[in-house]
Amino acid sequence: MVPAIIGVVLLVVLVIVAIRMISMKHLSDEVLQESIQGPAIHASGIYSIIRKSPREDLFRIRPPEEEIRKYLASRNEDIHRRALLEPDRQRLAEKWRQSMEENIRAVEQGDAGNVEFYYFDCGEHQPCPVCASYLNHGQFVSRQEIFNNPSLIPPFHLGCTTRIMPYRGKENLKETAALGMAPFFSNGTPPPLPEWKNTVTLP
């Protein structure tokens, strides 16, 4: 009876030791992996950047100008209940077009300089009131994240003044953190962005 109990105890101990050894091996593999590749955000920028103009992809997912003008024509006030007059509608439609161009150009110019990170410029003095509840000035995204999610390129809604800017620093995570910049993605999925119909009259 006693040897049987000792046998069982020994077996349990052996199983526990084996489990520990396996999990330690996993852990050291992970550490090794990270030391080879660096943190995920670095890895995403080094070998998989696809520098193709985001123009086509962005125009495909954004409403066409005709739809924008039609929508504006149906609105009499903005989200702050400020009256929308015909000149305001014209300016909003024009601003949308202009802003699409400027932001696409910012990425194209960044690509020309091999920029890996971009940050959101929400306008330090007069941040976009709609975007303020979705993102912070200086939050950054990688070029790869933009490629995977062209919807990250402003304007996000009618009257949006947020811009995407190439980050021309040394593009390493430590530097951006030192500047108080935080990544926009927290777990690999894009956080929500404003719906394009949120209309704010232009200042």
At 123, the amino acid letter reads: G
If one asks whether residue 152 binds Zn ion (CB under 5 A), the answer comes out as no
Q: How far is the CB of 116 from Zn ion (least distance, A)?
A: 24
If one asks whether residue 107 binds Zn ion (CB under 5 A), the answer comes out as no
If one asks whether residue 162 binds Zn ion (CB under 5 A), the answer comes out as yes
The one among 115, 128, 146, 193 contacting Zn ion by CB under 5 A: 128
Total of chain residues touching Zn ion, rule CB under 5 A: 5
Nearer residue to Zn ion within complex by CB, 88 or 116: 88
Q: List residues bridging with 135 in a β-sheet.
A: none
- Pairing mode, if any, of strands 163-167 and 140-142? unpaired
Nearer residue to Zn ion within complex by CB, 72 or 130: 130
Binders in 131-150 for Zn ion, by CB under 5 A: 131
Would you call 109 helix, strand, or coil by DSSP? helix
The one among 93, 100, 130, 158 contacting Zn ion by CB under 5 A: 130
Q: How far is the CB of 58 from Zn ion (least distance, A)?
A: 16
Q: Which of 47, 49, 24 lies closest to 36 in space, CA to CA?
A: 47
At 74, the amino acid letter reads: S
If one asks whether residue 160 binds Zn ion (CB under 5 A), the answer comes out as yes
Helix (H) or strand (E) holding 69: helix 65-73
Pick the stretch among 4-12, 129-137, 164-172, 176-184 that binds Zn ion (CB under 5 A): 129-137
Find out whether 148 and 58 touch, Cβ atoms under 8 Å: no
Q: How far is the CB of 196 from Zn ion (least distance, A)?
A: 10
Q: How far is the CB of 141 from Zn ion (least distance, A)?
A: 16
Q: What are phi and psi of 201, to 5 degrees?
A: -65, 145
Would you call 154 helix, strand, or coil by DSSP? coil
If one asks whether residue 164 binds Zn ion (CB under 5 A), the answer comes out as no
Which residues lie below 8 Å from residue 109, measured CB to CB, with a gap of 6+?
166
Positions in the binding site for Zn ion (CB under 5 A): 128, 130-131, 160, 162
